[in-house]
Amino acid sequence: MIKKSFTHRPDIVLLFTSIALLLFGLLMVYNASPVTALRDFGDPFYLARLQVIWAGVAAIAGFIAYKINYKILEKFASLFIIIAIGFLLAVFIPGLGVEIYGAKRWISVGGFFSIQPAELVKLAYIIYLASWLSKKVKLAPFIFITLLISAIILFQRDLGTTIVISATGLIIYFLAEAPIKHFFTLIPAGFLTVAVFILGSDYRRARLMSFLDPTTDTQGGAYHINQILIALGSGGLFGVGLGQSRQKYGYIPEVTTDSIFAVVGNELGFIGTTILIILFLVIVLRGIKIAQQTNDKFGKLLAAGIASWLGIQTVINIAGMVALLPLTGVPLPFLSYGGSSLVSTVVGVAILLNISRFTTKNIK
């Protein structure tokens, strides 16, 4: 007998955990960004102010996503993915796309700020997959849409985001009850593709070599990971104190974005990073619980997809920071500086909260 769902209050644990991570992320961006902001913009608080503005945008977008019944998303799934792919392609338009460190991943908006379409496409991809896989499961359309998005992002030199999207897609495809035999082809093909792109790129090979042996070329290819490990190691059990890190002053590359976890570890130590990881784990587990207690298949796949995306991205970022995986440039949800990532993350969690109002029982 199928239990009927009814409207009730959202998942309060998920709500307050997400708010805590959002506020902590703003604090860490404010804490880690002064040197970078002063160097690049002549204002030590420039990045912190901009992140607060993005947090406001994310809160408004999240509130809208929470108030609109999530089942409406299913009707517009095709439109979302078309728009998202359009934005992905727009980065290659001269005068619109912005190139940073040799990679074209951003779109300039009026010259005042930029957005990264690859961050926004993650959510559109999850909604699209959840929509049509809830009706029928076919291998060819899944491969087509995943390869199309992956190819565009790879042209933007963003292998990390490609891995996150592809892995999330595989999980959704599996949960949609796809035949197991499909994965005997998909998984090896995925690993082979990643290997080809790593070995075919000088800077990716350098990252792989620095991962395999961080002691080689400590002032070159392995500099980034060595500075991260120094920061984490010197943090010890309790850290050097909030705001007291020296490693954030020009030593750790990408200190406000991909490497912000290293600042947390340096200042708050093993205890602080453990609490942070637990908070991320709470969000993923609540997302899984919401998926389990949702009646309709679209809601199940959507909730499970969002939880998987946030979990995979968190694991890849933190594993790279502690040298369990090569560095990939994937942002840490809620914490890393970046408006596109923050907005997509908050909207994703808001959709989870939306779905949690329609579960078979109030989630406790």
Task: Report the alpha-carbon distance of residue 320 to residue 342 in Å, rounded.
Answer: 20
Amino acid 101: pLDDT: 63
- In 3D space, the residue among 2, 53, 1 whose CA is nearest the CA of residue 359 turns out to be 2
Contact (Cβ atoms closer than 8 angstroms) between residue 331 and residue 258: yes
Whether 123 contacts 347, CB under 8 Å: yes
pLDDT band at 217 (very low <50, low <70, confident <90, very high): low
Q: Is the pLDDT of residue 292 over 60?
A: yes
**Contact present, 331 and 109 (Cβ < 8 Å):** no
The sign of the CA dihedral 347, 350, 354, 355 is positive
Do 29 and 47 touch, CB atoms closer than 8 A?
Answer: yes
pLDDT (0 to 100) of residue 31: 93
SS3 state of residue 167: helix
User: For all residues of the chain together, what is the average pLDDT?
Assistant: 89
Query: pTM for the complete prediction?
Result: 0.92
Tokens representing residue 160 in the block: 């990390």
Q: What is the mean pLDDT of residues 221-246?
A: 88
State the Cα angle at 101 between 45 and 81, rounded to 5°.
90
pLDDT at 103: 66
118: tokens are: 């690859």
Could you tell me the sign of the dihedral formed by the alpha carbons of 343, 349, 352, 357, in that order?
negative
Question: Tokens standing for 62?
Answer: 């999240």
Residue of higher predicted confidence among 360 and 332: 332
Confidence of residue 77 (pLDDT cuts 50, 70, 90): very high
d(CA 74, CA 320): 35
pLDDT number for residue 362? 59
* Most confident by average pLDDT, 95-99, 166-170, 255-259: 166-170
Report whether 128 contacts 77 (CB < 8 A): yes
Q: Evaluate the CA torsion angle 327, 328, 334, 339 in order and state its sign.
A: positive
Cβ 258 vs Cβ 316: under 8 Å: no
Q: Say whether pLDDT at 1 is over 50.
A: no
Question: Whose CA is closest to 302, among 3, 72, 119, 14?
Answer: 72
Residue 142 tokens read as 């899944």
Six token digits for residue 304: 């499970």
| 30-75: pLDDT as tens digits | 999 998 898 888 889 999 999 999 999 999 999 999 999 999 999 9
Q: What is the three-class DSSP state of 16?
A: helix
Q: What was the pLDDT predicted at 271?
A: 96
Residues 132, 186, 324, 118, Cα dihedral to 10°: -40
The residue with greater pLDDT, 285 or 364, is: 285
Contact criterion met (CB below 8 Å) for 169 and 127:
no
Residue 54: predicted pLDDT: 95
In this predicted structure, the answer to whether residue 99 has a pLDDT above a threshold of 80 is no
What is the structure's pLDDT at 2?
43
